[in-house]
Amino acid sequence: MITIYRVLLDSLYITAISPFFSYDSLIINRNDSVYIASWGILWAFTWLVYPFLKKDANFTSFVVVMLFLLKVIPFTSFIACNAQPWDFILLQTIYWFLIFVLLRLVPPFRIPNLGRNTLFIDVVTFIFIVVIVFLSGYYAHFRLHFSLMDVYDLRTEARGYDIPVILGYIHSAAAKVLPLLLIFYIGQKKKVIVLFIIMAILLSFGVNGMKSTFLNLFFCLGLYYLHSKCLLSKLSIGLLSLCIIALFEFSFMGSYFISDILIRRILYIPSLLDTYYYNYTLEHGPLYFNAIVNKMDIAYVIGSFWRTSRTCANNGLFSDAYVNLGVFGVFIYPFIYTIFFKYAESIFRGKDYGITFYAAFIVTYNMISSFFTVCLLTHGMFILCFVVMFMPNMTSTSQYKIGSRL
């Protein structure tokens, strides 16, 4: 399956992505030695990741497999189709090798059991909903928006909102945490709160047009009603199916909508931005966590090299490590991630399977596209983990009953 997935990605890049987006630096630049090395890297990492598929379902195994499917395999396809310098490839390989090895070797940490405290969860949910309703009413006039095609107009409008900083942080965190709370309250059969959360998510999308806010609603509902122990396998099959559908769309319909919106933006752009962050650091040196360069955020600085000065080229993982600490970041950041993931694994131990899977997906997706510190604070990863600490554990028996009942 991994080999087929990689072959399909290569085919999509060559036939449906590069011919239309070469102006975006997604060019075809084949090199035989790099191509062979890309397959060697892929098979080596497959060997490292495979044991996580055989472990009991936990937060770390979810994150590792998602990183492998969404970042590492596309990275090998990217360098196979658009050859990069050997030092860049070597540093990326060392970086991912350390992450996967450390996550295999380091055991989860022990954390204090805070016990069941649904009152705390209720209070957090209430705060999120009130803040979203206020922002929607005050700035967007309770706008309900359901189209994904004109979201950039909403984002442009949202940049003009003078939202207080604390409310902005809460709103950003709520967009990530509310879908998880949705799964929790559906399991608790609290229908009124579920309806309020769904309405808050829709209003939140109407405020700033963030597609992830809208799509996470349906993603979480799917997780609950397709509750099973095979979600990772379904994710793999889903990505394969997506690539096949994208190839079918381009070959028989002459359209590249899926290749653009999903394959290019989610799978290839992060690897492309890695090259820009890498080259910027080579020329100007590491930032040492000072993200403001010439009164501009580093994401806009990189965006100006890539497209225009108005482009926000957020990126995470390797870009985060290298632009902040240079070569040292390649070796230091895997230890930081390991500590975070192992603490998170302890927090999610015994929690609902769907909640754990969703949290792993959100953490993975945000770490791919944002700096680690931004994920923890601005994107609400810290609040997400803290909320889960107060959730009751689910016994294996109850989880089986939920899965079989649905």
The answer, yes or no, to whether residue 384 has pLDDT greater than 70, is yes
Percentage of residues in the chain having pLDDT higher than 90: 45
Please give the average per-residue pLDDT across 340-358, as a whole number: 85
Please give the average per-residue pLDDT across 365-381, as a whole number: 87
Q: What are the extents of the domains in the chain?
A: 2-105+228-325, 118-227+395-405
Q: Quick count: other Cβ atoms within 10 Å of Cβ 401? A: 11
Q: What is the mean pLDDT of the chain?
A: 86
The tokens of 66 are what? 């998602």
Q: Among 178-192, 218-232, 257-271, name the one with the lowest average pLDDT.
A: 218-232
Distance between CA 61 and CA 153 in Å, rounded?
A: 38
| DSSP three-state, residue 369 | helix
Please give the average per-residue pLDDT across 205-220, as a whole number: 77
pLDDT for 115 equals: 59
Please give the average per-residue pLDDT across 4-21, as a whole number: 94
Give strand pairing partners of 293: 296
Confidence of residue 226 (pLDDT cuts 50, 70, 90): low
Distance between CA 212 and CA 379 in Å, rounded?
A: 12
With beta carbons less than 8 A apart as the criterion, state whether 2 and 49 touch: no
The gap from C-alpha 317 to its chain's centroid, in whole angstroms, comes to 11
Cα separations in angstroms, 105 against 46, 99, 102, 335: 17, 10, 5, 12
- The listed range with the strongest mean pLDDT (30-44, 56-70, 196-210) is 30-44
pLDDT for 403 equals: 36
Confidence of residue 49 (pLDDT cuts 50, 70, 90): very high
The answer, yes or no, to whether residue 25 has pLDDT greater than 60, is yes
Distance between CA 325 and CA 330 in Å, rounded?
A: 8
The answer, yes or no, to whether residue 400 has pLDDT greater than 50, is no
- Relative to beta strand 296-297, strand 292-293 is antiparallel
